[in-house]
Amino acid sequence: MDVNKTTIAELWRQHKWAVILALLGLIFALFVISYGFFKALFIYICVALGIFFGVQLDRKVDVKTKVEGFFNNDK
């Protein structure tokens, strides 16, 4: 079977989020089987926070001010 790169690229463009979310679901299911639901959920929360702060740092956003603003209760 000869699959060229344009076919794979086109499939990726059309179904990118389905593939990504399916893989995330598979990984989450494996974590739940291995560690239990709450431990797997904790792992995903930690990863999500790491990605969030990493993106903020890549964008040169002042993370300290964002976090302080989030926890600031002054209205």
Per-residue pLDDT of the chain (75 residues; tens, 9 = 90+): 556 777 888 888 888 888 888 888 999 999 999 999 999 999 989 998 888 888 877 888 777 777 787 788 765
User: At how many degrees (to 10) do helices 63-71 and 37-58 cross?
Assistant: 130
Backbone dihedral angles phi then psi of residue 60, each to the nearest 5 degrees: 65, 35
Residue 66 structure tokens: 């964002």
Longest Cα–Cα distance of the chain, Å, equals 64
The whole-number pLDDT of residue 2 equals 57
Q: pTM of the full predicted structure?
A: 0.58
